[in-house]
Structure 1
């Protein structure tokens, strides 16, 4: 399907004010921009709309440097919808789309989405070679009769909030700061698959999650977490890493659900990360590891019990 076919499927019934971006993670910076978008649209009695892309443009422009996602596509679209926009145009980012000039792209937005205004950050750019910066878009707006409203970057504690910053914070395992930037705990979801059952042998049976290779993960370590299973929430301890006690293995995500006694294989599990308990480490024996897991689980229980009160 071409970009024109995808745009033709949206069909707004009135003129629109739009913003454009990937919006990965729908963090506080994105929320601030979308709030400004909705305000600009309501002030003029127009519809508010978000134009977003999948896959991430960088994965098309630079295939050797795949950018891990903070949030699944479905979750991203749902989160944007919850913010109160009137329409969402999800476009496939292809090599053909990458070749469009800024003029060609906004012409399509004018034609199919009835764009009357564009709300962007001051460092925003679109079109082939990022030629459509704020200055260029403002000039196109005067020529093509749409307004451009420029929004300053949103900062927290002096740092500009961006998806790049959130990824960096997650790599550091700072779940409290990630939550501050995203307004909610960072989470991942995946199907529970069969593992090597080492957790069961240690009397702490874990759910091994099948996580896509493009999903960003917190840094290796043990985390207090909340697991969502069977429509309920459970305190849990989640390990991310290569399990060095048993040799250098592939990276895995394993979650021990506290006080859960049902079968999990084949089920979808969502895990919210609350706080890092410790770094991953190598133990001299399985018994030493089991002793540490007991301590980790108790810490996780206390952290999550306080969180869920």
Structure 2
């Protein structure tokens, strides 16, 4: 998959493009339904399957940003896995936000990408004050000669799948429901960073990752599966501030069972399976170590 940050018409001078656009946070089952149609149409026409998306999230520029389900690296990886050929990654600024909806379509999609077919979700919104919608696209498709397909919502557990619905589900701690709406296990993908090495001293070394800016489930201890180095490992993870030691920053620390190796600076994905207990403050390190041993035993049973 190719990622471009500027729309150069010369790069799309071959077969006309099949395009979709959106933030695609989470790359959930609703997004996947759109990508499936984009890829199917592109393979039939011989043109590239193109996804136009934005970074940072528009709400981070214009107001209070929502906590995200996926960071940019994870989002791009999921777009590639969905079969997208080209991602147009537009740097979202206040100046860009002032572009009206119709000129955006003409400048970026019609003139820039040579769009022949456009596939969008039913709640699509774009342009200044998100004035662009499916009705406007229908009018523009007739004026500029491209096909338009509007994909209906995908329902899971009787609820229309959306990024905001998944954020709320994660916030409540229902990681199983979140996984069903995502179409894959809910997890966090980040690079391992240096921690305080307290886990090593307790006999349970951990891989520590940042969770800044991400939507998270409630603090506590979780049974997890960790993807690292192309393999899946079972483990137990603590999410929170580690009150026994008074940490100031919220962090996610995962102990991988029966693992020998150094994961520092490697990108791993920590997938939440089940919450075992809430986060607690212990009297001392020995009491914490005893509880971790119990957590490990419980997590092994849950993951077996």
Which bin holds the TM-score, normalised by the shorter protein? Answer: 0.7 to 0.9
2:182 maps to: 182
Q: Is 1:120 aligned with 2:120?
A: yes
Does 6-15 or 27-36 show the bigger shift?
6-15
RMSD (Å), alpha carbons: 2.4
Tell me the CA shift for residue 272 of structure 1: 2.1
Instruction: Name the TM-score, length of structure 1 as normaliser.
Output: 0.86
CA distance in 2, matches of 1:85, 1:192: 28
CA distance in 1, matches of 2:149, 2:278: 45
2:161 maps to: 161
| 1:130-169 → structure 2 map (5 Å cutoff) | 130-169=130-169
Distance verdict in 2 for CA 1:12–1:154, change over 3 Å = farther
2:56 maps to: 55
Q: Is 1:215 aligned with 2:214?
A: yes
Structure 2 unaligned runs (5+)?
none
CA distance in 2, matches of 1:265, 1:153: 40
Tell me the CA shift for residue 27 of structure 1: 0.7
Tell me the CA shift for residue 122 of structure 1: 2.3
Q: Is 1:299 aligned with 2:298?
A: yes
Q: Is 1:17 aligned with 2:18?
A: yes
CA distance in 1, matches of 2:193, 2:122: 45
CA distance in 1, matches of 2:242, 2:288: 10
Contact (CA 8 Å) 1:123, 1:134: kept in 2 or not? yes
Q: Deviations over 1:247-306 (max 9, x none)?
A: 4643121111211233444444432222222222233444333222111111222333x3
Q: Deviations over 1:172-213 (max 9, x none)?
A: 22221121111222222334344333323332232322x152
CA distance in 1, matches of 2:221, 2:250: 13
CA distance in 2, matches of 1:85, 1:137: 22
CA distance in 2, matches of 1:188, 1:272: 7
Tell me the CA shift for residue 41 of structure 1: 4.4
CA distance in 2, matches of 1:151, 1:246: 50
CA distance in 2, matches of 1:120, 1:267: 35
Structure 1 unaligned runs (5+)?
none
Distance verdict in 2 for CA 1:17–1:212, change over 3 Å = same
2:72 maps to: 73
Secondary structure of 1:245 counterpart: coil
Distance verdict in 2 for CA 1:226–1:12, change over 3 Å = farther
Contact (CA 8 Å) 1:174, 1:276: kept in 2 or not? no
2:203 maps to: 203
Distance verdict in 2 for CA 1:124–1:296, change over 3 Å = same
Tell me the CA shift for residue 104 of structure 1: 0.9
Contact (CA 8 Å) 1:22, 1:53: kept in 2 or not? yes
Contact (CA 8 Å) 2:5, 2:90: kept in 1 or not? no
Secondary structure of 1:6 counterpart: coil
1:258 maps to: 257
